Structures are given as structure tokens and as C-alpha cells.
């Protein structure tokens, strides 16, 4: 409200009625601009570089982004173990088929696969005595892939 305008007079009410819609319109535009910028920033989180893997023979399908804050890699002189988490906007059933195809092409043998509504799809693989568990979880916004593997170093 401009200073010096008397709220009680008719001229003050007319001035107030003229200024308030302009302020409201400006606020709506500012809020809309902030919303559009936040949405654009959220959509720009995918990376063009290939996803990271702690093991060379465990391929990661394109379209997934590595989530380091949820991942863990443990290395010792004799053992290497990892829990790697990725996320992407990929339909869970097609991602399960892509995971199976790429892992089998890399020499992994599928041991089992289960699917439940509450816990998603779990695939278990084996290669040269080393296990690999792949969990595919369909989240509200992203599909999450959790790979747990261990390997004895020689």
C-alpha cells in the first residue's frame, strides 16, 4: 500500500482497489516463475556420462543415475563388496528385462527372480562363484536399482 494514502477516505479506497490487483498479479507471476525454474532444475538431473559401477563386469543400463549417498563400497586386501544404488525414470518391468539381458551378455547366470507388490523385483545372479543381487523398486517418481555384490580378490 502506498504511503500517505488515507485508508478511510473514498480516494484512499479507490487507490487501494487500484494498487492491490497489481501487487497480486506480480506475486502470482513471481511464484509461477519460481515454480517453473524449480521444475526445470529437477528435470535436468540426468547425466550424459555412463553410470558408475564398482565392478567392471556389472553393466548398468543407460538412463540410470548413480546415487552415491545411498551406495557403499567396502574394499579390503582379500574382499571387495558393494551396495550400489541407481535411479531413473524407467518402467520397472522393462528395466528388469534390460538388466537380465545385459548381465547375461556379461557372463552372469540368473539363479532366481521374484516379484512382489511391496518389494518390487529381486533378481539373483552368479558368476565364477560370486553372487549378485539386483533389486528393482518402483518408487513414486523414480525406479530404484539396488545392486549388491561381493568378490574375493585373488
Instruction: Indicate which CATH number applies to the domain containing 115.
Output: 3.30.160.110
At 32-50, the pLDDT tens digits run 444 433 433 444 443 334 4
Contact 17, 52 (CB under 8 A): no
Name every residue whose Cβ is closer than 8 Å to that of residue 147 and which is 6 or more positions away in sequence: 53, 58, 82, 83, 84, 85, 86, 132, 133, 134, 135
Name every residue whose Cβ is closer than 8 Å to that of residue 152 and which is 6 or more positions away in sequence: 78, 79, 129, 130
At 117-154, the pLDDT tens digits run 888 999 999 999 999 999 999 998 999 999 999 999 87
Residue 114 forms part of a structural domain: yes
The predicted pLDDT at position 37 comes to: 37
* Statement to judge: residues 85 and 29 lie in one domain: no
Contact 22, 11 (CB under 8 A): no
Please give the tally of structural domains in the chain: 2
* Statement to judge: residues 130 and 73 lie in one domain: yes
The per-residue pLDDT of the chain, averaged, comes to: 79
Give the range of the structural domain holding residue 19, as residue numbers without chain letter. 1-44
Average pLDDT over residues 36-65: 61
- pLDDT greater than 80 at residue 26: no
At 89-125, the pLDDT tens digits run 999 999 999 999 999 999 999 999 999 988 899 999 9
Q: Is the pTM of this model over 0.85?
A: no
Residue 58 forms part of a structural domain: no
Amino acid at each position: 500500500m502506498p504511503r500517505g494514502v488515507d485508508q478511510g477516505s473514498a480516494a484512499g479506497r479507490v487507490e487501494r482497489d487500484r494498487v492491490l490487483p497489481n501487487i497480486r498479479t506480480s506475486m502470482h507471476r513471481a511464484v509461477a516463475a519460481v515454480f517453473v525454474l524449480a521444475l526445470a532444475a529437477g528435470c535436468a538431473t540426468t547425466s550424459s556420462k555412463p553410470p558408475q559401477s564398482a565392478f567392471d563386469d556389472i553393466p548398468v543400463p543407460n538412463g540410470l543415475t548413480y546415487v552415491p549417498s545411498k551406495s557403499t563400497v567396502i574394499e579390503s586386501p582379500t574382499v571387495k563388496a558393494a551396495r550400489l544404488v541407481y535411479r531413473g525414470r524407467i518402467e520397472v518391468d522393462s528395466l528388469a528385462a534390460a538388466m537380465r539381458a545385459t548381465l547375461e551378455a556379461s557372463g552372469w547366470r540368473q539363479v532366481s527372480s521374484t516379484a512382489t507388490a511391496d518389494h518390487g523385483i529381486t533378481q539373483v545372479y552368479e558368476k565364477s562363484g560370486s553372487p549378485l543381487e539386483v533389486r528393482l523398486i518402483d518408487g513414486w517418481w523414480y525406479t530404484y536399482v539396488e545392486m549388491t555384490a561381493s568378490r574375493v580378490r585373488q
